[in-house]
Amino acid sequence: MGIIRSCFSFMMGSAVGVYVAQNYDVPNIRKLFNTGLLIGKHIEENYRKPKKRDDD
């Protein structure tokens, strides 16, 4: 009985996901993630502490 319950949940989740993706304006998660990563890299490069020099 457990396999039927887990298979039913997966099928219903897939059907709801397809319905939502087709009928609503869902943002592209990969593009959103890449934009956030780019902003994070930009902030890190601008606010990073300068490296200490060993020749002192």
pLDDT at 14: 94
Tell me which of 54 and 46 has the higher pLDDT: 46
pLDDT at 56: 52
If one counts the domains in the chain, the total is 1
Token pair for residue 21?
């993706």
Range of the domain at 39: 2-47
Q: Binning pLDDT at 50, 70 and 90, where does residue 55 land? A: low
Residue 22 forms part of a structural domain: yes
Q: Do 26 and 20 form a contact (C-beta atoms < 8 A)? A: yes
Closest CA to 26 of 34, 35, 16: 16
pLDDT at 35: 95
Residue 52 forms part of a structural domain: no
Q: Is the whole-model pTM more than 0.85? A: no
Residue 21 forms part of a structural domain: yes
Query: Tell me: the pLDDT tens digits for 20-50?
Result: 999 999 888 999 999 999 999 999 989 887 7
